[in-house]
Structure 1
Amino acid sequence: MRPYILAESNWKTLKDQPVELAILPWGATEAHNYHLPYATDIIEADRIAAEASRLAWEEGAKIMILPTIPFGVNTGQTDIKLDINLHPSTQAAILDDIIEVLDRQGIHKLLILNSHGGNNFKPMLRELGVKYPDMFLTFCNWFQAVDKSKYFTRPDGDHADEMETSLMLYFTPDLVKPLEEAGDGAAKQYRIKALNENWAWAERRWSEVTEDTGVGDPRNATAEKGAAYFENVTKKVSELFIDLANADINDLYL
């Protein structure tokens, strides 16, 4: 039993265990090119949360990892078979219920560990922060924690790319099809200049952007790259866990 993971904990151990920070991993269930499983975002969330929390726990952080939410926002992939979509309003309702429990039980810090690019928690946390003024609500995207270009030859992708494929080769190689069966992850760009410059935004219609559902070439991926990246990402994420667990939410600013 890992006492910092709620799914493995029991009431005898937990009832007197202090918790300063709850961590909610949030993934998605969606196609990842031809070679990765639909649960890729979930597996990544589980593994990164577990290792980062182990490191933080060993430094004395009083944290608890909640079970991973397996469905995310997939509104741009409605025609991709069995990509399971939660509307943002549904996510907000789920968050509201979870935060209500934490607030009632005196656990006043929540971090969402986001594992899916389609999830955007900022507007939800703004609104829920007004509803629960005693709560400190935050989120992070673990896939933005470190510079991918230090580890991968093709760091420009963002879905089933070299980075995700390397992680999955490290985590669960039995669930990764041979890379010669993977698509090249080629993705079309908008004809509208501003949308490619990232200061304007519109949702991508996934099946019109990419033939294989991937964005980014995965074919240079290796388990060794995945291991190195995982080590550094989890170290960085664990530092956030420690800082949040130790923070006084009434004294956050220098």
Structure 2
Amino acid sequence: MDLTTATWTDVRDLEADLAVVPVGSTEQHGPHAPLGTDVLTAEAVADAGVERVDREVVRAPAIPVGVAEEHRQFPGTMWVSEDTFRDYVAEAVSSLAHHGFDRIVLVNGHGGNVDALREVGGRLTRAGEAYVVPFTWFEVVGEHTADMGHGGPLETALLRHIEPELIAEERIEEARAGAADGWGDWTSYVNLAYDAAEFTENGVVGDPSEGSKERGEELLELATETLARLLEAVAERDVSRPEHR
């Protein structure tokens, strides 16, 4: 059930305790891909995962702004501090738990959110408010994960599959020409760069021309199958906390 289109009486009559919350970012993804890429991909994976399982799952509205100050030099990018982001996600999740949806999977589409979401999950779970697990789609797509980049082959591929009209195909060569090969500026195993503009001309990391629609279809299937297994595991898990030892 999608909370955006459901009524409160629809929700009242549910017997479910499992919810999915897509989490993304509104940030640059090069000259060819939309600012909402991380939200759109997170929503697509969340919706496909919910449809795959044979149980009632609540799909909450997406959280569209995340930890993304590293893209601040590129117009249109929005961000909040890590503290604000963690507190907002935690309070949004707590409101779901208030209504009985106390097993929650956060389906994430932005790398900058990963650490904060793990902290939120641990905090709420240990406090006994809800059992909360973060899931980042591009970390679970097998050998493709190594090509993640930013606005690169994976995100371009998935968008070509789910929202092809949003890719500016005439700018793919421009995106490829101005892209960095990898994320960051590394010396002695240390990333010396804090902002993307320090190492990528146009915000892109990786070659978006390698992101075909067919690859996007495969990515969605891999992420969906993995998310479906996770949803079943979260639904069946004993979430009581271990006693002191």
**Cα offset for 1:205?**
1.4
State the partner residue of 2:109.
115
State the partner residue of 1:218.
208
The question of whether the paired residues in 1 share the 8 Å contact of 2:193 and 2:199 is answered with: no
Residues 1:9 and 2:6 aligned together: yes
Structure 1 stretch 187-196 or stretch 83-92: which is displaced more?
A: 187-196
Match of 1:245 among 229, 235, 241: 235
Distance of 2:241 and 2:70 partners within structure 1: 40
What are structure 1's unaligned runs of at least 5 residues? Answer: 197-201
Residues 1:204 and 2:194 aligned together: yes
Match of 2:122 among 114, 119, 126: 126
SS in 2 for 1:34: coil
Distance of 1:82 and 1:44 partners within structure 2: 18
Within 5 Å, give how 1:1-254 maps onto structure 2. 4-56=1-53, 59=54, 61-119=55-113, 120=115, 121-130=117-126, 132-149=127-144, 155-178=146-169, 179-184=172-177, 185-187=179-181, 189-195=184-190, 204-250=194-240
Query: Per-residue displacement from partner, 1:216-252 (whole Å, max 9, x unpaired)?
Result: 1111221111112211211111111121122231289
**Cα offset for 1:8?**
2.4
The question of whether the paired residues in 1 share the 8 Å contact of 2:90 and 2:120 is answered with: no
State the partner residue of 1:199.
none
What are structure 2's unaligned runs of at least 5 residues? Answer: none
The number of residue pairs the alignment matches comes to 236
RMSD between superposed Cα atoms in Å: 2.2
Tell me the TM-score normalised to structure 2 length. 0.87
Distance of 1:62 and 1:247 partners within structure 2: 16
CA gap of 1:187–1:207, structure 2 versus 1, over 3 A, is: farther
Give aligned-pair identity as a percent: 25
CA gap of 1:78–1:166, structure 2 versus 1, over 3 A, is: same
Amino acid at match of 1:117: G
CA gap of 1:241–1:203, structure 2 versus 1, over 3 A, is: farther
Distance of 1:104 and 1:148 partners within structure 2: 39
Query: Per-residue displacement from partner, 1:76-109 (whole Å, max 9, x unpaired)?
Result: 1222212100111111221232233233323221
**Cα offset for 1:38?**
0.7
The question of whether the paired residues in 2 share the 8 Å contact of 1:5 and 1:50 is answered with: no
Tell me the TM-score normalised to structure 1 length. 0.84
The question of whether the paired residues in 2 share the 8 Å contact of 1:29 and 1:72 is answered with: yes
The question of whether the paired residues in 1 share the 8 Å contact of 2:176 and 2:204 is answered with: yes
Amino acid at match of 2:88: I
CA gap of 1:136–1:206, structure 2 versus 1, over 3 A, is: same
